[in-house]
């Protein structure tokens, strides 16, 4: 296998950063293909913790190519800040490649994000405030400014002038009092270009060359399936496709060249921002789990809402992305809970359903149906070590039961479990990467 996509199967923050870093050891390149600096991927290496928003997590390992694909929207100020910060911490960023087709987040996008949230008073999404929705809207409306537009001052000026003219009218209609200073934006973005220029290229070509050499490539998803613009809890979603199909579109990789998909699932569920959440816990339990799991947003610092693992949600992801296997994170945190639940199905207006409904009004009426499990308590490093060498045979009975239930309902294996932020707290139960191109198992999903 030469390529593997790592995707979030819930509402984001599943631990994608941790797994991408873990798997990147054996990769040549790591590619971000959607989202922007709304993402917050945390990687712990020894005593050091890195919080990445735009840079692919592979940047932290020496000698890797780290690609920001065309499907990503780039806030150049944030990106430069991230590069400078990593350089100060001794990380070599020379492997970074930024797509010349990626769209730019402009100052008016972040301003509009805030204004639109205010207008939605009472029904606000709880966005990260990074201008994500307005920037992707401009891309689709063909009003966007792309990285390649910065190459030529005259081209950039023309596109900026037009966009600013349009935005001024929108600002007036929205009652936004802040001034849009075209000249200042022009100067600022021209100076960003000088810093980013060495990294900018046609990343489609870079990827093509890597594939031709059979180099191993990881695709790093941001957010999660339930935040997908088409398949998530619309409108309480982000503004990009987060599922596997976009790993192709967002990077210029032919779909058939994405060999395997790994779904990352937290052993429980969290969500940041507004929107329905069927397995959400009552406040007291949620706060206690959030504290135990350090569930505070990497990007916004907000406390994440907490609930039980929801297999209707994860199977929605498995189906949409063709996920081959699951990596379960935060097993150490869930082990601190006495009696553990998994949601197997919903009751909707008295009927059992196992498919995630399109309508959020219907979802609000869904009641989770749970199975219960014994806790496995604290897992020592020596048990993790045994799991690493002996695989499933060393799993405590309670964990075997928990994982067995998940595998039975999803019809795919749990290939890895994680008991902490650190690399050495990860046990691979199956070899998923690198692997030759034979099928791991035929899906036997009961759903």
- Residue with smaller CB distance to ligand IMO, 235 or 377: 235
Q: 420 touches which of Mg ion, ligand GDP, ligand IMO, none (CB within 5 to 8 A by kind)? A: ligand GDP
- Residue with smaller CB distance to ligand IMO, 302 or 352: 302
Task: Name the residues that contact ligand GDP, by CB under 6 A.
Answer: 8, 12-18, 40-42, 44, 294, 298, 329-330, 332-333, 418-421
3 state SS of 296: strand
Take residue 257 and report the two structure tokens written for it: 């060249």
Start-to-end CA distance of the chain, whole Å, equals 28
Residue nearest to ligand IMO (CB): 273
Task: Name the residues that contact ligand IMO, by CB under 6 A.
Answer: 8, 11-13, 38-41, 125-128, 130, 132-133, 222-224, 227, 238-239, 272-273, 298
Q: Is 41 a residue of the active site?
A: yes
In whole angstroms, how close is the CB of 187 to ligand IMO at the nearest point?
A: 27
- Other beta carbons within 10 angstroms of residue 26's beta carbon come to 12
Q: Is 316 a residue of the active site?
A: no
Q: 418 touches which of Mg ion, ligand GDP, ligand IMO, none (CB within 5 to 8 A by kind)? A: ligand GDP
3 state SS of 57: helix
Instruction: Tell me the HSE value of 366 on the side-chain side, using a 13 A CA sphere.
Output: 27
- Does residue 40 bind Mg ion (CB under 5 A)? yes
- Residue with smaller CB distance to ligand IMO, 136 or 402: 136
Number of H helices, E strands in the chain: 14, 20
Binding mask 297-336 for Mg ion (x = CB under 5 A): -x--------------------------------------
In whole angstroms, how close is the CB of 328 to ligand GDP at the nearest point?
A: 8
48, exposed or middle or buried, with CB in 10 Å at 0-12, 13-18, 19+?
Answer: exposed
- Residue with smaller CB distance to ligand IMO, 220 or 332: 220
- Does residue 241 bind Mg ion (CB under 5 A)? no
Q: Give the residues across from 260 on adjacent strands.
A: 4
The CA distance from 50 to 32, in Å, is 17
352 to each of 231, 283, 349, how far by Cα in Å?
Answer: 21, 26, 9
The CA distance from 325 to 410, in Å, is 9
The CA distance from 362 to 335, in Å, is 32
Q: What is the dihedral of CA 377, 383, 384, 387, to 10 degrees?
A: -110
Contact 8, 231 (CB under 8 A): no
In whole angstroms, how close is the CB of 387 to ligand GDP at the nearest point?
A: 13
3 state SS of 56: coil
In whole angstroms, how close is the CB of 103 to ligand GDP at the nearest point?
A: 21
Q: Which of 21, 37, 41, 344 is catalytic?
A: 41
- Residue with smaller CB distance to ligand IMO, 32 or 216: 32
Take residue 36 and report the two structure tokens written for it: 């922007």
Q: Give the residues across from 200 on adjacent strands.
A: 98
In whole angstroms, how close is the CB of 270 to ligand IMO at the nearest point?
A: 8
- Residue with smaller CB distance to ligand IMO, 133 or 413: 133
Q: Which of 13, 37, 138, 324 is catalytic?
A: 13
Q: 15 touches which of Mg ion, ligand IMO, ligand GDP, none (CB within 5 to 8 A by kind)? A: ligand GDP
3 state SS of 346: strand
As annotated, the active-site residues are 13, 41
Q: Which residues bind Mg ion (CB under 5 A)?
A: 13, 40, 298
């Amino acid at each position: 296998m030469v390529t593997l996509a790592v995707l979030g199967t819930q509402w984001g923050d599943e631990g994608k950063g941790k797994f991408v870093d873990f798997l990147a050891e054996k990769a040549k390149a790591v590619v971000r293909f959607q989202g922007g600096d709304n993402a917050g991927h945390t990687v712990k290496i020894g005593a050091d913790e890195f919080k990445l928003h735009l840079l692919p997590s592979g940047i932290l390992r020496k000698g890797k190519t780290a690609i920001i694909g065309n499907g990503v929207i780039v806030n150049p100020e944030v990106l430069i800040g991230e590069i400078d910060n990593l350089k100060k911490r001794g990380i070599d960023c020379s492997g970074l490649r930024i797509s010349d087709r990626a769209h730019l987040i402009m100052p008016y996008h972040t301003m509009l994000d805030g204004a639109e949230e205010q207008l939605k008073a009472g029904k606000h999404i709880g966005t990260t405030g990074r201008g994500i929705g307005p920037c992707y809207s401009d891309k689709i409306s063909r009003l966007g400014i792309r990285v390649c537009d910065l190459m030529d001052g005259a081209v950039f000026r023309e596109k900026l002038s037009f966009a600013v003219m349009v935005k001024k009218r929108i600002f007036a209609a929205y009652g936004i009092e802040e001034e849009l200073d075209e000249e200042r934006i022009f100067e600022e973005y021209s100076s960003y270009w000088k810093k980013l220029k060495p990294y900018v290229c046609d990343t489609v070509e870079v990827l093509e060359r890597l594939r031709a050499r059979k180099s191993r490539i990881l695709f790093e998803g941001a957010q999660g399936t339930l935040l997908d613009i088409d398949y998530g809890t619309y409108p309480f979603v982000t503004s990009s496709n987060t599922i596997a199909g976009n790993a192709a579109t967002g990077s210029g990789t032919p779909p058939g060249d994405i060999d395997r998909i790994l779904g990352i699932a937290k052993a429980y569920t969290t969500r940041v921002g507004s929107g329905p959440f069927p397995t959400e816990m009552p406040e007291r339990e949620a706060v206690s789990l959030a504290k135990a799991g350090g569930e505070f947003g990497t990007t916004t610092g907000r406390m994440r809402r907490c609930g039980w693992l929801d297999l209707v949600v994860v199977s929605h992801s498995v189906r949409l992305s063709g996920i081959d296997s699951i990596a379960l994170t935060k097993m150490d945190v869930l082990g601190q809970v006495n009696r553990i639940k998994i949601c197997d199905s919903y009751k909707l207006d008295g009927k059992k359903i196992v498919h995630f409904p399109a309508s959020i009004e219907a979802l609000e009426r869904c009641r989770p149906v749970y199975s219960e499990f014994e806790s496995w308590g604290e897992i020592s490093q020596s048990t993790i070590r045994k799991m690493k060498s002996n695989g499933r045979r060393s799993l405590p009975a309670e964990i075997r039961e928990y994982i067995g239930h998940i595998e039975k309902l999803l019809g795919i294996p749990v290939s890895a479990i994680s008991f902490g932020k650190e690399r050495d707290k990860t046990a691979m139960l199956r070899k998923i990467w690198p692997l030759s191109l034979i099928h791991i198992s035929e899906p036997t999903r009961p759903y």
